[in-house]
Structure 1
């Protein structure tokens, strides 16, 4: 082995370690440094280019990622890893058929490689083949049973099919999947070997429940707290971000809410919020769906009572975009698929007999330039305020974001505009939800095509606006 070979191997191993740890920018810098050597042999250059493409993919730089994989294939036309990386990049760039072709070529070259099966599964989901995608994910898991990304993606597919027992068990791999960039809270006591609650007896103990992921996830799964309390816990302390504290302090079964992790002496055991589904062995036919399970605090209700314009019309809240999370490539792609521009909802805003109320926060709120939509959100400080507004509405219409979970948890009718490759929690082939009795799904029939969805919502809204006021549901009378 020459000195150059040794230098490449050392640098490549360092880059690979950073890559697998989710430090993609640092890995990319090393790949670029290695490729700066004009004497690098074609096989080594191909390897560096292929992995460089994978790092660029994770950083959301799709065009550069494709070019890097092509450079790898120019130097090594039979490199299965480059075809697999290319397939994953093309899938995420909304080219599922091209992705499937690249992945099949990877599998033909290296049948034991798990990555192309993973990318093919996502491409299959993008084409509506959910059963085929599940089979491909099972194959990927058989080839790489310890790979967290494979386990996590298999988990979401299992959950989407309603296979909760296997799905929630596999979902525990989320903490190690680098693309999610989740950090498991360090809720530990040095003298203990296992402070996390995994289903053992908690009678008489204090349990710390720790929020994770998005606001919508917290609003969705906070419903499980009363089931935990029924196991005999003496106290349940909830850790969540500040915008949720005031609202969740009134949740049944919650004894205390804090935005800062409490001292370890303040609790006996702890558990991540979304792990409660696995710990409690919740099945699709045993989903706690009684609503409302949240209610706005009295102070928020007093503050917002009378804040909306008086009207005899159907009062409808509207949210058209989620959090773009520009620093997180995977989350940004999901948000781009689920969010709309307000202009795309213009056909709804012309429906007679509807009084519109904006529930939009974040950058997309700047799109609101229509006087027909009342915007109270400048005065909203947290989810307790939003809840007090939503409780005054007859209906909420929105994309798949935290506000629709809030409306469902409050028992307010809510219509969700769901992307074609929808979130696992909405299951498959249904327009209702076992999670929220008042929720109705309007699914895309083709990826990215919102116009037919908006047209169907408009038809239903015309019917709802013609209903007598006393038939519009309970929200207005609360």
Structure 2
């Protein structure tokens, strides 16, 4: 819904207040419309116009319109060369669009003009992460948190940095700010019953509500048996339909629903990704929970014998995530983690591998664009993650980018090799090629932002080795 037209006689200060209210509540398109009308008002003072242009740029950034956002911030700087907020906004836009060094320059300017401005440190931290300097990024995020301890975006970004460094206790506590972090656009479930914050649940029914992506759910559903061990009489999981059939067979899950149940059917509720904090799970307990998923028997029976027979290695492949074009921040992340299937041509040329596509979505159309690639594609008949799990369980190996499928393979205990973007994801931590979450997972990290070739070559070398081992294992004694 667009913002109502402001009366012609609206005072500039009132229009600015309206724009800021819309801006701070995440209604960025409406805020931009009010900023536009305000900036056309001849009564607007130049100093206020500079702030309006800077704020407008910040709103346009959230809408995924970087070129217009930078132009608006430049207009702000032309009117007020000492406006630190405009430089911080420019830094954030440059960082998000793959220019970390230029972002650092802009953020340094913001810091020099206003050492107490937290937004500059936040953008600078993200730029350092993009450059691979995670220690410096954490220091800057801690500085931003000192300046703005209650700001959700700061706490959320600090949480991910702490988790990346394996500092779970602090990280999960700070991660509770995710609901208020506007860039995530999360909607907190409207559950009328009390939230479970680790109080006694013996004999009670707990509703666990999934959140965020499918991969997040597959990763953290492992915690359900630990919840049940606290004495809960029943554990009910609310999830989206594509996960329901698979999660219904999970140990400790008494029921799965795809909509919030009636309040009289449970005593407490908890968001799934709050369980790490509520349970106080230590890192050394994580791997002991895997593998923890298995496909339902009807899915196993349906998919038995449907994959092509092979005397070689049978490997699944997924090369792209959900582009989420309506969510600017998520779309940027996907553009960094996904790659075209053609980039994996060196793998497809390895003899002795029978390839199975695990790719869903628009990227699946690339299957017909790689010459000479023989890839069996069963995904048109896949209806949910139970089907995918039944296919994955028949594979010797899964190779993929950081998507829900690699979490599924890890949860099933199937060997999985993950191509991980340079800036990485907090869940894969630092300086390791294994994972604390999945014993069967190996990481192949980018050496440079956007350059997949060296990582793909390392995967190819390991794949050749796996094929040789497979042939050796098939030789008669």
Which category of TM-score, normalised to the shorter sequence, fits these structures? over 0.9
Tell me which residue corresponds to 1:237.
Answer: 236
Matches within 5 A, 1:48-59: 48-59=52-63
Query: What CA RMSD, in Å, does the superposition of the two structures yield over aligned residues?
Result: 1.4
Could you tell me whether the CA contact under 8 Å between 1:158 and 1:164 is conserved in 2? yes
- Following the alignment from structure 2 to structure 1, what is the Cα–Cα distance between the partners of residues 121 and 12? 29
Q: Within 5 Å, give how 1:87-102 maps onto structure 2.
A: 87-102=91-106
Q: What SS does structure 1 have at the residue aligned with 2:418?
A: strand
Q: What does 1:269-284 correspond to in 2, within 5 Å? A: 269-284=268-283
CA distance in 1, matches of 2:39, 2:382: 51
Deviation at 1:275, TM superposition (A): 0.1
Q: Do residues 397 (structure 1) and 399 (structure 2) align?
A: yes
Which of 9, 15, 23 is equivalent to 2:13? 9
1:67 aligned onto 2:71: yes
Corresponding residue number in structure 2 for 1:27: 31
**1:382, distance to aligned residue in structure 2 (A):** 0.1
8 Å contact kept, 1:223–1:288: no
Counterpart CA distance in 1 for 2:288 and 2:133 is 29
> How far, CA to CA, are the matches of 1:292 and 1:48 in structure 2?
53
Please give the residue correspondences for 1:375-414 in structure 2 after superposition, counting only pairs within 5 Å. 375-414=377-416
Tell me the TM-score normalized by structure 1.
0.95
Q: Tell me the secondary structure at the aligned position of residue 467 of structure 1.
A: helix
Hey, what does 1:41 align to over in structure 2?
A: 45
CA contact (8 A) 1:224 1:288 kept: no
Distance in 1 between residues matched to 2:454 and 2:120, nearest whole Å = 33
TM-superposed deviation, 1:287: 1.5
Structure-2 residue corresponding to 1:421? 423
Alpha-carbon offset, residue 251 of structure 1: 0.1
| d(CA) in 2 for partners of 1:177, 1:106 | 22
- How many residues are paired up? 465
Q: Aligned-pair distance for 1:471?
A: 5.0
Counterpart in the other structure of 1:454: 456
1:190-241: CA deviation from partner (whole Å, max 9, x where unpaired): xxxxx00000000000000000000000000000000000000000000000
Matches of 1:287 and 1:5, distance apart in 2 = 62
Match in the other structure for 1:304 = 303
- Map of 1:222-301 to 2, 5 A cutoff? 222-301=221-300
- After TM superposition, the structure 1 = structure 2 runs for residues 86-235 of structure 1, keeping only pairs within 5 Å, are 86-189=90-193, 195-235=194-234
Q: Is the 8 A contact 1:289 1:436 kept in 2?
A: no
Alignment of 1:338-349 (within 5 A): 338-349=337-348
For 1:436, the equivalent position in structure 2 comes to 438
Rounded Cα–Cα distance in structure 1 between residues aligned with 2:443 and 2:362: 25
Kept in 1: contact 2:287–2:438 (CA 8 A): no
| Match of residue 192 from structure 1 | none
Q: Structure 1 residue 5: deviation in Å?
A: 10
Please, which moves more after superposition, 217-226 or 101-110?
A: 101-110
Shift in Å, 1:39 = 4.5
Change beyond 3 A, Cα 1:81–1:5: farther
Structure 1 position 288, deviation (Å): 4.4
Matched with 1:313 is: 312
| Residues 408-451 of structure 1, C-alpha deviations (whole Å, 9 max, x = no match) | 00000000000001110001000000100000000011111101
1:4 Cα deviation after fit: 9.7
**In the alignment, is the contact (CA less than 8 A) between 2:246 and 2:385 conserved in 1?**
yes
What CA distance in whole angstroms lies between the structure 1 residues aligned with 2:213 and 2:252?
22
| 1:289 Cα deviation from its structure 2 partner | 3.5
**Distance in 2 between residues matched to 1:318 and 1:130, nearest whole Å:** 30
Q: Distance in 1 between matches of 2:387 and 2:381?
A: 8
- Contact 2:236–2:253 under 8 Å retained in 1: yes
The superposition leaves residues 333-389 of structure 1 with CA deviations (integer Å, 9 ceiling, x where unpaired) of 000000001111111100000000000000111111155000000000000000000
The Cα of 1:40 is off from its aligned counterpart by 2.7
Change (3 A) 1:159 1:400: same
2:295 aligns to what SS in structure 1? coil
How far apart, CA to CA, are the structure 2 residues paired with 1:93 and 1:261? 38
Deviations 1:298-355 (A, max 9, x none): 0000100011000011000000000000000000000000000111111110000000
Distance apart, 1:36 and its partner CA: 1.8
Mapped partners of 2:136, 2:334: distance in 1: 25
Which range moves more in the overlay, 462-471 or 263-272?
462-471
Q: In the aligned structure 2, how far is the partner of 1:381 from the partner of 1:99?
A: 43
Distance 1:29 1:270 in 2: 39
Q: CA 1:156 to 1:61, structure 2 compared with 1: closer, same or farther past 3 Å?
A: same
Is the CA contact 2:210–2:237 (under 8 Å) kept in the aligned structure 1? yes
**Structure 2 regions of 5+ residues with no counterpart?**
1-6
Post-superposition Cα deviations, 1:24-76, rounded to whole Å, max 9, x if no partner, equal 11111111111122443221211111011101111111111111110100111
Deviation at 1:13, TM superposition (A): 1.3
* Separation in structure 2 between the aligned mates of residue 470 and residue 230 of structure 1, nearest angstrom: 44
